[in-house]
Amino acid sequence: MKSTDLTMWAILMFCPLLLPACTVGPDYVKPVPVASMPTAYKELAGWKVAQPQDDRLAERWWEIYQDPILNSLVEQVAVSNLNVAAAAAQFRQARALVQAARSGYFPSITAGASANRVHTSENFGAGPSVGVTASTFRLPLDVTWELDLWGRVRRGVESSQAAAQASAADLAAVTLSLQAELAGNYFQLRVLDAQQQLLDATATVYRKSLELTNYRYEAGAVAKTDSLQAEAQLRSTEVQALDISLQRTQLEHAMALLIGKPPEAFSLPATALATAIPPIPAGLPSELLERRPDIASAERQVAAANARIGVAQAAYYPTIQLSAAAGYEATQLAEWLTWPSHFWSVGPAVSATLFDGGLRGALSDQARAAYDGTVAAYQKAVLTGFREVEDNLAALRILEEELQAQDQAVQAAQQVVTITTSQYQAGAVTYLNVLIAQAIALANQRAALNLVGRRLTASVLLVKALGGGWQAHEPT
């Protein structure tokens, strides 16, 4: 082998040693979530619940409500919901982009074969090749490899990995949000079932009152207005029951969409509301940063943006590329694949941009501005998480107090109905007093059921605000 060949091979052997020489751009440091991290939730001071057996939410968080129907419905969201399917497809795209970025670590190898028949012009040039018809046969193998001296490829892989992690967290956030939405709809539907039962039972009582009033009217004991008022009250209650049926039907349709079914393929039999508010472990505020997938996604977006700064800065440095080619070429088919027909070439190439009109500077500034934007979005996500937890802790505490007061109001209103009805039967008051007492009692009973539903919804929203049972995992 000639000395020049030895020198070339020495260069090729030495160049890979330079790969880890330098990685430009800032190394990632997790930004500070908020100016001052709270040590406890403000609303926990006045919120008293039983201590749970486990201090962390389970991955299947919906099972804390101990409702088999709810369990079966929520489990279908992750499997059949179309929004979850779209988010899962985006996650697979992000993982594929990681592999695409990693391909920059390796050389590119191409191979091909060609056979050409060429006739040169007799009126162009001079020499023995003028006006000649000849064949060429080629079988080349080309190898090119860009040395990642400045870390452009490494920063690209780092950015793609962080983006894939953010996509995984986005998938978890979408799934959690839709599961919470379904659970909330389910509890609203059960509250409507309870209100339907209440209205049906009330209509039965009103119907008996109407019969009694009609009997007394026919006996001449009361005026016609008493009978008309009793009938108007009954019909109004029946209208309210029909409106409940409409709301329930629409909730069923919404739940069908959440589990990926057409409305006509889904129905839920009415049943009594028996779900109690379970104890929910709130944990420490710092745990919220790990338990909420949207916060994890925002933080991973910061890491991806930080790596893209290094990619932009690598453009300031020269590109070094190794290339090699080998194969067979001949003008006779019989000689094509013989050893004398072999050829090879190898050598490095260096290129650098000397002037680009400020393009690289603009791209670098853009990358830094994008990083600052992701930091702000991350900090906003953290503050939003704290606010949502505090909101729903406050809702559970205050709604519990409201419900206790409302239960007392229901009891008092029912006593008023009993006393007023007795007075009316004795002729001491008019039927209007009975109507007013019954209307107040019904309104208080419905208000109590609404408070139960709001507390159940607030508990679901608290689980969602705490991140459900999702936990951040290191990507593979």
Write the pLDDT tens digit of every residue in 402-442: 999 999 999 999 999 999 989 988 888 888 899 999 999 99
Question: Mapping DSSP to helix (H, G, I), strand (E, B) and coil, where does residue 367 land?
Answer: helix
- Share of residues in the chain with pLDDT > 90 (%): 66
For the chain, residues classed under CATH 2.20.200.10 are 107-147+318-351
Rounded CA gap, 183 and 74, in Å?
7
Rounded CA gap, 95 and 421, in Å?
71
The band of 125, judged by pLDDT with boundaries at 50, 70 and 90, is low
- Share of residues in the chain with pLDDT > 70 (%): 91
pLDDT reading at 8 higher than 80: no
DSSP-derived secondary structure for 436-469: HHHHHHHHHHHHHHHHHHHHHHHHHHHHHHTTTT
End-to-end CA separation in angstroms for the chain? 46
In terms of Cβ atoms closer than 10 Å to its own Cβ (0-12, 13-18, 19+), residue 448 is buried
Q: Please state whether 88 falls in left (phi above 0), alpha (psi between -120 and 50) or beta.
A: alpha
pLDDT reading at 49 higher than 50: no
Rounded CA gap, 354 and 350, in Å?
13
Q: 445-472, pLDDT tens digit by residue?
A: 999 999 999 999 999 999 999 998 776 6
The CATH fold assigned to 23-106+150-317+358-465 is: Outer membrane efflux proteins (OEP) (1.20.1600)
Sign of CA dihedral 214, 217, 222, 226: positive
For the chain, residues classed under CATH 1.20.1600.10 are 23-106+150-317+358-465
Considering the four listed CATH numbers 3.40.190.10, 3.40.1160.10, 3.40.50.300, 2.20.200.10, the one that applies to the domain covering 107-147+318-351 is 2.20.200.10
Angle, vertex CA 224, rays to CA 218 and CA 229, nearest 5: 120
Mean pLDDT of the chain: 87
Q: Which residue has the higher pLDDT, 468 or 52?
A: 468
Neighbouring CB atoms inside 10 A of 12's CB total: 15
Question: Mapping DSSP to helix (H, G, I), strand (E, B) and coil, where does residue 251 land?
Answer: helix
Distances (CA, A) of 454 to 83, 192, 244, 252, 392: 26, 12, 17, 18, 10
